[in-house]
Amino acid sequence: MKPVNTPQNRPSTASAHRLFSPRLALASLALSTLLASLGASVAAVALPTLAQALDASFQQVQWVVLAYLLAITTLIVSVGRLGDLMGRRKLLLVGIILFTLASAVCGLAPSLWLLIAGRALQGLGAAIMMTLTLALVGETVAQEKTGSAMGLLATLSAVGTALGPSFGGMLIGGFGWPALFLVNIPLGLLTLGLAWYSLPVRQVPPKTEGTRFDVTGTVLLAMTLAAYALAMTSGSGSFGRLNMVLLLIALVGGGLFIRAQSRAVSPLIPLAVFRDRLLVSGLVTSALVATVMMATLLVGPFYLSIALGLPATLVGLVLAAGPSVAALAGVPAGRLADRFGVTPMRLAGLAAMVLGCLMLSLVPPALGTVGYLTAIIVTTLGYAFFQTANNTAVMADVAAQRRGVIAGLLNLSRNLGFFTGASVLGAVFVLAAATNDITRASPAAVTNGLHMTFAVALAMMILALLIAWKSRVPETLPTPRDNPSQA
Protein backbone atom coordinates (compact mmCIF):
# COMPACT_ATOMS: atom_id res chain seq x y z
CA MET A 1 0.00 0.00 0.00
CA LYS A 2 1.43 3.39 -1.02
CA PRO A 3 1.92 6.03 1.66
CA VAL A 4 -0.47 8.95 1.76
CA ASN A 5 0.82 11.84 -0.32
CA THR A 6 0.27 14.96 1.81
CA PRO A 7 1.97 18.38 1.76
CA GLN A 8 3.70 17.50 5.02
CA ASN A 9 5.43 14.35 3.77
CA ARG A 10 5.75 15.01 0.05
CA PRO A 11 9.28 16.18 -0.84
CA SER A 12 9.89 17.68 -4.21
CA THR A 13 12.18 16.02 -6.73
CA ALA A 14 14.93 18.49 -5.89
CA SER A 15 14.90 17.48 -2.23
CA ALA A 16 14.05 13.79 -2.55
CA HIS A 17 17.56 12.82 -1.50
CA ARG A 18 16.95 14.34 1.91
CA LEU A 19 14.66 13.00 4.59
CA PHE A 20 12.25 15.76 5.54
CA SER A 21 12.01 16.09 9.31
CA PRO A 22 9.32 18.50 10.61
CA ARG A 23 11.19 18.75 13.92
CA LEU A 24 14.47 19.80 12.31
CA ALA A 25 12.64 22.20 10.02
CA LEU A 26 10.84 23.75 12.99
CA ALA A 27 14.16 23.97 14.86
CA SER A 28 15.65 25.97 11.98
CA LEU A 29 12.69 28.37 12.07
CA ALA A 30 13.02 28.69 15.85
CA LEU A 31 16.74 29.50 15.59
CA SER A 32 16.00 32.12 12.92
CA THR A 33 13.46 33.73 15.25
CA LEU A 34 15.94 33.67 18.14
CA LEU A 35 18.67 35.34 16.07
CA ALA A 36 16.36 38.14 14.88
CA SER A 37 15.04 38.77 18.40
CA LEU A 38 18.51 38.66 19.95
CA GLY A 39 19.76 41.12 17.35
CA ALA A 40 17.15 43.64 18.49
CA SER A 41 17.81 43.39 22.24
CA VAL A 42 21.53 42.68 22.51
CA ALA A 43 22.78 46.01 21.15
CA ALA A 44 20.94 48.31 23.55
CA VAL A 45 23.19 47.37 26.46
CA ALA A 46 26.27 48.40 24.43
CA LEU A 47 25.24 52.01 23.75
CA PRO A 48 27.33 53.58 26.56
CA THR A 49 30.35 51.48 25.55
CA LEU A 50 29.92 52.36 21.87
CA ALA A 51 29.63 56.08 22.66
CA GLN A 52 32.96 55.95 24.46
CA ALA A 53 34.77 53.61 22.05
CA LEU A 54 33.68 55.42 18.89
CA ASP A 55 33.77 58.95 20.37
CA ALA A 56 30.12 59.62 19.60
CA SER A 57 27.17 61.23 21.38
CA PHE A 58 24.35 59.19 22.85
CA GLN A 59 21.98 60.54 20.16
CA GLN A 60 24.37 59.26 17.48
CA VAL A 61 24.84 55.78 18.92
CA GLN A 62 21.07 55.41 19.33
CA TRP A 63 21.03 54.84 15.57
CA VAL A 64 22.76 51.49 16.18
CA VAL A 65 19.42 50.32 17.60
CA LEU A 66 17.16 52.53 15.50
CA ALA A 67 18.67 51.50 12.14
CA TYR A 68 17.94 47.85 12.91
CA LEU A 69 14.35 48.53 13.96
CA LEU A 70 13.68 50.88 11.03
CA ALA A 71 14.94 48.34 8.49
CA ILE A 72 12.65 45.69 9.94
CA THR A 73 9.61 47.96 10.14
CA THR A 74 9.91 49.51 6.69
CA LEU A 75 10.66 46.31 4.75
CA ILE A 76 8.89 43.53 6.63
CA VAL A 77 5.79 43.46 4.41
CA SER A 78 7.79 43.77 1.19
CA VAL A 79 10.05 40.83 1.97
CA GLY A 80 6.97 38.75 2.76
CA ARG A 81 5.56 39.50 -0.68
CA LEU A 82 8.93 38.80 -2.29
CA GLY A 83 8.99 35.41 -0.55
CA ASP A 84 5.56 34.61 -1.97
CA LEU A 85 6.85 35.32 -5.47
CA MET A 86 10.36 33.82 -5.48
CA GLY A 87 9.96 31.05 -2.88
CA ARG A 88 9.96 31.40 0.89
CA ARG A 89 12.66 28.78 1.57
CA LYS A 90 15.05 30.39 -0.91
CA LEU A 91 14.50 33.90 0.48
CA LEU A 92 14.86 32.71 4.09
CA LEU A 93 18.28 31.26 3.23
CA VAL A 94 19.22 34.60 1.64
CA GLY A 95 18.02 36.39 4.78
CA ILE A 96 20.14 34.21 7.08
CA ILE A 97 23.20 34.75 4.86
CA LEU A 98 22.60 38.52 4.81
CA PHE A 99 22.15 38.64 8.60
CA THR A 100 25.38 36.67 9.12
CA LEU A 101 27.47 38.76 6.69
CA ALA A 102 26.05 42.01 8.12
CA SER A 103 27.02 40.80 11.61
CA ALA A 104 30.60 40.44 10.39
CA VAL A 105 30.50 43.98 8.97
CA CYS A 106 29.21 45.30 12.32
CA GLY A 107 31.83 43.46 14.35
CA LEU A 108 34.70 44.70 12.16
CA ALA A 109 33.36 48.23 11.59
CA PRO A 110 36.08 50.88 12.18
CA SER A 111 33.56 53.75 12.43
CA LEU A 112 30.11 54.44 13.83
CA TRP A 113 28.53 55.09 10.44
CA LEU A 114 29.76 51.82 8.96
CA LEU A 115 28.41 50.10 12.07
CA ILE A 116 25.02 51.77 11.53
CA ALA A 117 25.04 50.71 7.85
CA GLY A 118 25.83 47.15 8.91
CA ARG A 119 22.98 47.24 11.42
CA ALA A 120 20.56 48.36 8.70
CA LEU A 121 21.62 45.39 6.54
CA GLN A 122 21.34 43.15 9.58
CA GLY A 123 17.81 44.49 10.11
CA LEU A 124 16.91 43.59 6.52
CA GLY A 125 18.08 40.03 7.16
CA ALA A 126 16.10 39.98 10.41
CA ALA A 127 12.97 41.22 8.62
CA ILE A 128 13.24 38.31 6.20
CA MET A 129 13.73 35.81 9.02
CA MET A 130 10.92 37.20 11.22
CA THR A 131 8.40 37.19 8.37
CA LEU A 132 9.21 33.94 6.62
CA THR A 133 9.47 31.85 9.79
CA LEU A 134 5.78 32.54 10.41
CA ALA A 135 4.92 31.96 6.76
CA LEU A 136 6.83 28.66 6.60
CA VAL A 137 5.06 27.11 9.60
CA GLY A 138 2.22 26.04 7.29
CA GLU A 139 4.73 24.11 5.13
CA THR A 140 6.55 22.37 7.96
CA VAL A 141 3.93 21.16 10.47
CA ALA A 142 0.50 19.59 10.27
CA GLN A 143 -2.36 22.08 10.62
CA GLU A 144 -3.55 20.61 13.92
CA LYS A 145 -0.12 21.40 15.41
CA THR A 146 0.09 24.98 14.14
CA GLY A 147 -0.59 26.45 17.59
CA SER A 148 2.26 24.49 19.17
CA ALA A 149 4.64 25.65 16.43
CA MET A 150 3.58 29.28 16.86
CA GLY A 151 4.04 28.89 20.60
CA LEU A 152 7.60 27.67 20.09
CA LEU A 153 8.43 30.65 17.87
CA ALA A 154 6.91 33.01 20.46
CA THR A 155 9.01 31.32 23.15
CA LEU A 156 12.26 31.79 21.22
CA SER A 157 11.36 35.41 20.49
CA ALA A 158 10.83 36.03 24.21
CA VAL A 159 14.04 34.17 25.06
CA GLY A 160 15.98 36.44 22.68
CA THR A 161 14.45 39.54 24.26
CA ALA A 162 15.15 38.35 27.81
CA LEU A 163 18.62 37.01 27.07
CA GLY A 164 19.86 40.01 25.09
CA PRO A 165 20.86 42.44 27.88
CA SER A 166 22.57 39.86 30.12
CA PHE A 167 24.21 38.02 27.21
CA GLY A 168 25.35 41.30 25.69
CA GLY A 169 26.81 42.50 28.98
CA MET A 170 28.72 39.26 29.37
CA LEU A 171 30.18 39.50 25.86
CA ILE A 172 31.20 43.13 26.31
CA GLY A 173 32.83 42.40 29.65
CA GLY A 174 34.75 39.41 28.33
CA PHE A 175 35.61 40.27 24.74
CA GLY A 176 34.61 43.86 23.96
CA TRP A 177 31.72 45.29 21.95
CA PRO A 178 32.62 43.64 18.56
CA ALA A 179 31.77 40.27 20.13
CA LEU A 180 28.09 41.34 20.25
CA PHE A 181 27.99 40.97 16.48
CA LEU A 182 30.72 38.46 15.72
CA VAL A 183 28.99 35.83 17.86
CA ASN A 184 26.22 35.79 15.25
CA ILE A 185 28.58 34.33 12.64
CA PRO A 186 28.76 30.75 14.03
CA LEU A 187 25.10 30.95 15.10
CA GLY A 188 24.10 32.15 11.64
CA LEU A 189 26.09 29.41 9.90
CA LEU A 190 24.47 26.78 12.14
CA THR A 191 21.00 28.16 11.35
CA LEU A 192 21.80 28.33 7.62
CA GLY A 193 22.98 24.72 7.49
CA LEU A 194 19.99 23.45 9.42
CA ALA A 195 17.52 25.43 7.28
CA TRP A 196 19.13 24.34 4.00
CA TYR A 197 19.08 20.69 5.04
CA SER A 198 15.66 20.46 6.69
CA LEU A 199 13.24 22.91 5.06
CA PRO A 200 11.22 21.30 2.27
CA VAL A 201 11.77 22.54 -1.27
CA ARG A 202 8.47 23.62 -2.83
CA GLN A 203 7.83 24.38 -6.42
CA VAL A 204 7.12 28.10 -6.79
CA PRO A 205 3.76 28.55 -8.58
CA PRO A 206 4.29 29.82 -12.13
CA LYS A 207 3.77 33.54 -12.44
CA THR A 208 0.68 34.55 -14.31
CA GLU A 209 0.80 37.41 -16.77
CA GLY A 210 1.13 40.72 -14.93
CA THR A 211 2.35 39.17 -11.69
CA ARG A 212 5.46 40.99 -10.57
CA PHE A 213 6.99 42.61 -7.54
CA ASP A 214 5.38 45.98 -6.78
CA VAL A 215 8.38 48.34 -6.62
CA THR A 216 6.27 51.51 -6.45
CA GLY A 217 4.19 50.15 -3.58
CA THR A 218 7.33 48.98 -1.78
CA VAL A 219 8.97 52.42 -1.98
CA LEU A 220 5.81 54.26 -0.88
CA LEU A 221 5.19 51.89 2.02
CA ALA A 222 8.82 52.03 3.18
CA MET A 223 8.81 55.85 3.13
CA THR A 224 5.48 55.97 4.96
CA LEU A 225 6.54 53.56 7.67
CA ALA A 226 9.94 55.22 8.09
CA ALA A 227 8.28 58.62 8.52
CA TYR A 228 5.83 57.23 11.08
CA ALA A 229 8.52 55.40 13.05
CA LEU A 230 10.73 58.49 13.15
CA ALA A 231 7.76 60.65 14.16
CA MET A 232 7.14 58.33 17.10
CA THR A 233 10.78 58.11 18.23
CA SER A 234 12.35 61.52 17.50
CA GLY A 235 12.44 64.45 19.89
CA SER A 236 13.69 62.79 23.11
CA GLY A 237 10.23 62.41 24.58
CA SER A 238 8.66 65.64 23.28
CA PHE A 239 6.35 65.85 20.28
CA GLY A 240 7.46 68.96 18.42
CA ARG A 241 7.36 70.49 14.96
CA LEU A 242 9.63 67.85 13.41
CA ASN A 243 7.40 65.08 14.73
CA MET A 244 4.32 66.76 13.28
CA VAL A 245 6.00 67.14 9.87
CA LEU A 246 7.04 63.48 9.87
CA LEU A 247 3.56 62.40 10.89
CA LEU A 248 2.06 64.50 8.09
CA ILE A 249 4.48 62.88 5.61
CA ALA A 250 3.37 59.47 6.90
CA LEU A 251 -0.31 60.35 6.41
CA VAL A 252 0.26 61.65 2.87
CA GLY A 253 2.43 58.64 2.07
CA GLY A 254 -0.26 56.29 3.40
CA GLY A 255 -2.84 57.90 1.13
CA LEU A 256 -0.55 57.64 -1.89
CA PHE A 257 0.20 54.01 -1.06
CA ILE A 258 -3.50 53.09 -0.87
CA ARG A 259 -4.12 54.86 -4.17
CA ALA A 260 -1.20 53.04 -5.81
CA GLN A 261 -2.40 49.67 -4.51
CA SER A 262 -5.90 50.21 -5.86
CA ARG A 263 -4.45 50.78 -9.34
CA ALA A 264 -1.62 48.23 -9.37
CA VAL A 265 -1.96 45.11 -11.50
CA SER A 266 0.01 43.10 -8.96
CA PRO A 267 -0.18 45.09 -5.69
CA LEU A 268 2.17 44.63 -2.77
CA ILE A 269 -0.84 44.33 -0.45
CA PRO A 270 -4.12 43.50 -2.22
CA LEU A 271 -6.62 45.80 -0.54
CA ALA A 272 -9.23 43.05 -0.75
CA VAL A 273 -7.48 41.19 2.10
CA PHE A 274 -8.76 43.84 4.50
CA ARG A 275 -12.31 42.62 3.91
CA ASP A 276 -11.35 39.62 6.01
CA ARG A 277 -12.81 40.35 9.44
CA LEU A 278 -10.53 37.92 11.26
CA LEU A 279 -7.39 39.35 9.63
CA VAL A 280 -8.28 42.96 10.44
CA SER A 281 -9.18 42.02 13.99
CA GLY A 282 -5.90 40.15 14.40
CA LEU A 283 -3.84 43.09 13.11
CA VAL A 284 -5.60 45.75 15.17
CA THR A 285 -5.56 43.77 18.42
CA SER A 286 -1.89 42.86 17.84
CA ALA A 287 -1.00 46.56 17.51
CA LEU A 288 -2.96 47.48 20.65
CA VAL A 289 -1.36 44.69 22.68
CA ALA A 290 2.16 45.64 21.52
CA THR A 291 1.47 49.27 22.46
CA VAL A 292 0.63 48.22 26.01
CA MET A 293 3.59 45.83 26.32
CA MET A 294 5.97 48.63 25.35
CA ALA A 295 4.59 50.63 28.28
CA THR A 296 5.72 47.92 30.70
CA LEU A 297 9.28 48.25 29.36
CA LEU A 298 9.23 52.06 29.51
CA VAL A 299 7.52 52.74 32.84
CA GLY A 300 8.71 49.73 34.82
CA PRO A 301 12.35 50.83 35.37
CA PHE A 302 11.33 54.25 36.69
CA TYR A 303 8.71 52.86 39.04
CA LEU A 304 11.04 50.19 40.40
CA SER A 305 14.03 52.49 40.89
CA ILE A 306 12.32 55.70 42.03
CA ALA A 307 9.00 54.72 43.61
CA LEU A 308 10.23 51.46 45.15
CA GLY A 309 13.87 52.47 45.58
CA LEU A 310 15.39 49.26 44.16
CA PRO A 311 19.07 49.17 43.18
CA ALA A 312 19.96 48.72 39.51
CA THR A 313 20.78 45.02 39.86
CA LEU A 314 17.36 44.23 41.33
CA VAL A 315 15.63 46.41 38.74
CA GLY A 316 17.23 44.30 36.02
CA LEU A 317 16.13 41.06 37.66
CA VAL A 318 12.54 42.25 38.08
CA LEU A 319 12.38 43.48 34.48
CA ALA A 320 13.57 40.07 33.27
CA ALA A 321 10.53 38.44 34.88
CA GLY A 322 8.15 39.49 32.11
CA PRO A 323 10.13 38.08 29.14
CA SER A 324 10.90 34.97 31.22
CA VAL A 325 7.21 34.34 31.84
CA ALA A 326 6.49 34.84 28.12
CA ALA A 327 9.23 32.36 27.23
CA LEU A 328 7.90 29.72 29.63
CA ALA A 329 4.28 30.22 28.58
CA GLY A 330 4.76 30.14 24.80
CA VAL A 331 4.73 26.39 24.16
CA PRO A 332 1.92 25.60 26.68
CA ALA A 333 -0.12 28.43 25.14
CA GLY A 334 0.32 26.86 21.70
CA ARG A 335 -0.77 23.45 22.91
CA LEU A 336 -3.85 24.91 24.59
CA ALA A 337 -4.71 26.77 21.37
CA ASP A 338 -4.47 23.48 19.45
CA ARG A 339 -6.67 21.73 22.01
CA PHE A 340 -9.35 24.33 22.80
CA GLY A 341 -9.23 26.51 19.69
CA VAL A 342 -7.70 29.90 18.92
CA THR A 343 -10.80 32.00 19.62
CA PRO A 344 -11.17 31.06 23.32
CA MET A 345 -7.42 31.49 23.86
CA ARG A 346 -7.36 34.92 22.19
CA LEU A 347 -10.19 36.09 24.42
CA ALA A 348 -8.64 34.53 27.53
CA GLY A 349 -5.30 36.21 26.81
CA LEU A 350 -6.89 39.62 26.32
CA ALA A 351 -9.02 39.19 29.45
CA ALA A 352 -5.86 38.44 31.45
CA MET A 353 -4.23 41.57 30.03
CA VAL A 354 -7.28 43.62 31.04
CA LEU A 355 -6.90 42.29 34.59
CA GLY A 356 -3.14 42.93 34.59
CA CYS A 357 -3.54 46.53 33.40
CA LEU A 358 -6.23 47.11 36.02
CA MET A 359 -3.84 45.85 38.71
CA LEU A 360 -1.03 48.08 37.43
CA SER A 361 -3.33 51.12 37.36
CA LEU A 362 -4.16 50.60 41.05
CA VAL A 363 -1.10 48.93 42.63
CA PRO A 364 0.12 50.91 45.69
CA PRO A 365 3.84 51.23 46.46
CA ALA A 366 3.10 49.67 49.85
CA LEU A 367 2.79 46.28 48.13
CA GLY A 368 6.38 46.68 46.95
CA THR A 369 8.01 44.43 44.40
CA VAL A 370 5.53 41.60 45.00
CA GLY A 371 2.57 43.77 44.02
CA TYR A 372 4.26 44.97 40.84
CA LEU A 373 5.53 41.51 39.88
CA THR A 374 2.11 39.94 40.35
CA ALA A 375 0.52 42.46 37.99
CA ILE A 376 3.32 42.07 35.42
CA ILE A 377 3.09 38.27 35.50
CA VAL A 378 -0.67 38.38 34.88
CA THR A 379 -0.20 40.86 32.04
CA THR A 380 2.63 38.90 30.43
CA LEU A 381 0.80 35.59 30.69
CA GLY A 382 -2.12 37.18 28.90
CA TYR A 383 0.24 38.51 26.24
CA ALA A 384 1.81 35.09 25.68
CA PHE A 385 -1.57 33.38 25.31
CA PHE A 386 -2.94 36.11 23.06
CA GLN A 387 0.07 36.33 20.76
CA THR A 388 0.30 32.60 20.14
CA ALA A 389 -3.44 32.21 19.52
CA ASN A 390 -3.63 35.37 17.40
CA ASN A 391 -0.70 34.38 15.17
CA THR A 392 -2.26 30.94 14.72
CA ALA A 393 -5.70 32.39 13.94
CA VAL A 394 -4.36 34.82 11.34
CA MET A 395 -1.93 32.43 9.62
CA ALA A 396 -3.67 29.03 9.83
CA ASP A 397 -5.98 29.29 6.82
CA VAL A 398 -4.20 31.83 4.62
CA ALA A 399 -3.75 30.74 1.03
CA ALA A 400 -0.24 29.53 0.26
CA GLN A 401 0.53 32.30 -2.23
CA ARG A 402 -0.18 35.01 0.37
CA ARG A 403 1.41 33.62 3.52
CA GLY A 404 4.47 35.83 3.22
CA VAL A 405 2.67 39.15 2.90
CA ILE A 406 0.16 38.30 5.66
CA ALA A 407 3.00 37.27 7.98
CA GLY A 408 4.66 40.59 7.15
CA LEU A 409 1.50 42.50 8.05
CA LEU A 410 1.25 40.61 11.33
CA ASN A 411 4.82 41.50 12.30
CA LEU A 412 4.32 45.06 11.08
CA SER A 413 1.28 45.57 13.31
CA ARG A 414 3.32 44.53 16.32
CA ASN A 415 6.26 46.80 15.43
CA LEU A 416 3.97 49.78 14.86
CA GLY A 417 2.44 49.07 18.25
CA PHE A 418 5.88 49.17 19.86
CA PHE A 419 6.71 52.51 18.24
CA THR A 420 3.31 53.95 19.17
CA GLY A 421 3.60 52.74 22.75
CA ALA A 422 7.03 54.31 23.11
CA SER A 423 5.66 57.67 21.98
CA VAL A 424 2.04 57.86 23.14
CA LEU A 425 2.14 55.99 26.44
CA GLY A 426 5.58 57.42 27.16
CA ALA A 427 4.07 60.91 26.79
CA VAL A 428 1.16 59.94 29.06
CA PHE A 429 3.62 58.80 31.73
CA VAL A 430 5.65 62.04 31.60
CA LEU A 431 2.49 64.17 31.58
CA ALA A 432 0.99 62.34 34.56
CA ALA A 433 4.26 62.57 36.48
CA ALA A 434 4.09 66.36 35.94
CA THR A 435 7.81 66.88 35.39
CA ASN A 436 10.12 67.58 32.47
CA ASP A 437 12.94 65.52 34.02
CA ILE A 438 11.54 62.13 35.00
CA THR A 439 14.82 61.09 36.62
CA ARG A 440 14.24 63.76 39.31
CA ALA A 441 10.56 63.05 39.85
CA SER A 442 9.31 62.19 43.33
CA PRO A 443 8.14 58.63 44.17
CA ALA A 444 4.55 59.90 44.38
CA ALA A 445 4.79 61.50 40.92
CA VAL A 446 6.21 58.35 39.35
CA THR A 447 3.49 56.25 41.00
CA ASN A 448 0.84 58.59 39.61
CA GLY A 449 2.47 58.29 36.19
CA LEU A 450 2.33 54.49 36.40
CA HIS A 451 -1.35 54.53 37.40
CA MET A 452 -2.37 56.96 34.66
CA THR A 453 -0.35 55.17 31.96
CA PHE A 454 -1.97 51.84 32.71
CA ALA A 455 -5.41 53.39 33.04
CA VAL A 456 -5.00 54.38 29.39
CA ALA A 457 -3.56 50.93 28.65
CA LEU A 458 -6.59 49.38 30.37
CA ALA A 459 -8.91 51.25 27.99
CA MET A 460 -6.86 49.96 25.05
CA MET A 461 -7.11 46.37 26.27
CA ILE A 462 -10.86 46.63 26.80
CA LEU A 463 -11.14 47.92 23.22
CA ALA A 464 -8.98 45.02 21.98
CA LEU A 465 -11.15 42.53 23.88
CA LEU A 466 -14.32 43.99 22.37
CA ILE A 467 -12.84 43.84 18.86
CA ALA A 468 -11.78 40.21 19.34
CA TRP A 469 -15.18 39.29 20.79
CA LYS A 470 -17.07 40.93 17.93
CA SER A 471 -14.91 39.26 15.27
CA ARG A 472 -14.84 35.81 16.85
CA VAL A 473 -15.55 32.88 14.56
CA PRO A 474 -16.87 29.43 15.52
CA GLU A 475 -14.23 26.74 15.96
CA THR A 476 -15.12 24.49 13.06
CA LEU A 477 -13.20 22.61 10.43
CA PRO A 478 -10.79 25.08 8.78
CA THR A 479 -11.96 26.72 5.60
CA PRO A 480 -9.25 28.65 3.75
CA ARG A 481 -10.13 32.32 3.57
CA ASP A 482 -8.57 32.47 0.12
CA ASN A 483 -8.58 29.17 -1.78
CA PRO A 484 -5.14 28.52 -3.30
CA SER A 485 -6.70 26.52 -6.11
CA GLN A 486 -8.42 29.65 -7.30
CA ALA A 487 -5.24 31.72 -7.42
Query: Average pLDDT, whole number, for the chain?
Result: 82
Find out whether 434 and 451 touch, Cβ atoms under 8 Å: no
Between 28 and 435, name the one with better pLDDT.
28
Neighbour tally for 351: CB within 10 Å:
18
Q: Which domains does the chain have, with CATH numbers?
A: 18-200 (1.20.1250.20), 215-267 (no CATH), 270-473 (1.20.1250.20)
pLDDT at 481 over 50: no
Q: For 260-312, how does the pLDDT look when each residue is reduced to its tens digit (9 = 90+)?
A: 888 888 888 888 888 888 888 999 999 999 999 888 877 888 888 888 988 87
Q: In this structure, which amino acid lies at residue 269? A: I
Q: For 7-27, how does the pLDDT look when each residue is reduced to its tens digit (9 = 90+)?
A: 444 444 344 434 557 788 888
pLDDT of residue 59: 66
Instruction: Indicate the pLDDT class of residue 467, thresholds 50, 70 and 90.
Output: very high
Between 238 and 478, name the one with better pLDDT.
238
Mean pLDDT of 376-393: 90
Q: For 387-441, how does the pLDDT look when each residue is reduced to its tens digit (9 = 90+)?
A: 888 888 888 777 767 778 888 888 888 888 888 887 788 888 888 887 766 667 8
Find out whether 151 and 31 touch, Cβ atoms under 8 Å: no
Instruction: Indicate the pLDDT class of residue 236, thresholds 50, 70 and 90.
Output: low
Instruction: Indicate the pLDDT class of residue 203, thresholds 50, 70 and 90.
Output: low
Q: For 306-336, how does the pLDDT look when each residue is reduced to its tens digit (9 = 90+)?
A: 889 888 778 777 877 887 888 888 788 888 8
pLDDT of residue 395: 80
Find out whether 299 and 379 touch, Cβ atoms under 8 Å: no
Q: At how many degrees (to 10) do helices 277-302 and 312-319 cross?
A: 160
3 state DSSP class of 120 = helix
pLDDT of residue 379: 94
pLDDT of residue 211: 63
Q: For 226-235, how does the pLDDT look when each residue is reduced to its tens digit (9 = 90+)?
A: 888 888 766 6
Q: Where is average pLDDT lowest: 129-133, 384-388, 472-476? A: 472-476
Which of 158, 389, 382, 410 is closest to 292 using CA atoms?
382
First-residue to last-residue Cα distance in the chain: 33
3 state DSSP class of 171 = helix
Rounded Cα–Cα distance for residues 285 and 77 (Å): 18
pLDDT at 2 over 50: no
Mean pLDDT of 432-460: 87
DSSP 56: -
Between 485 and 106, name the one with better pLDDT.
106
Mean pLDDT of 344-368: 94
Instruction: Indicate the pLDDT class of residue 192, thresholds 50, 70 and 90.
Output: very high
Instruction: Supply the pTM of this predicted model.
Output: 0.78
What Rg value do the Cα atoms of the chain yield, rounded?
A: 22
pLDDT of residue 237: 54
3 state DSSP class of 21 = coil
Q: For 155-175, how does the pLDDT look when each residue is reduced to its tens digit (9 = 90+)?
A: 888 788 777 777 877 888 888
Q: For 60-92, how does the pLDDT look when each residue is reduced to its tens digit (9 = 90+)?
A: 787 888 888 888 888 888 888 888 888 888 899
Q: For 207-216, how does the pLDDT look when each residue is reduced to its tens digit (9 = 90+)?
A: 544 467 788 8
Residues near 54 by Cβ (< 8 Å), separated by ≥ 6?
A: 61, 111, 112, 115
Find out whether 465 and 354 touch, Cβ atoms under 8 Å: yes
Rounded Cα–Cα distance for residues 423 and 428 (Å): 9
pLDDT at 93 over 60: yes
Q: Where is average pLDDT lowest: 112-121, 142-151, 328-337, 459-468? A: 142-151
Burial of 246 (0-12, 13-18, 19+ CB in 10 A): buried
pLDDT of residue 114: 93
pLDDT at 454 over 90: yes
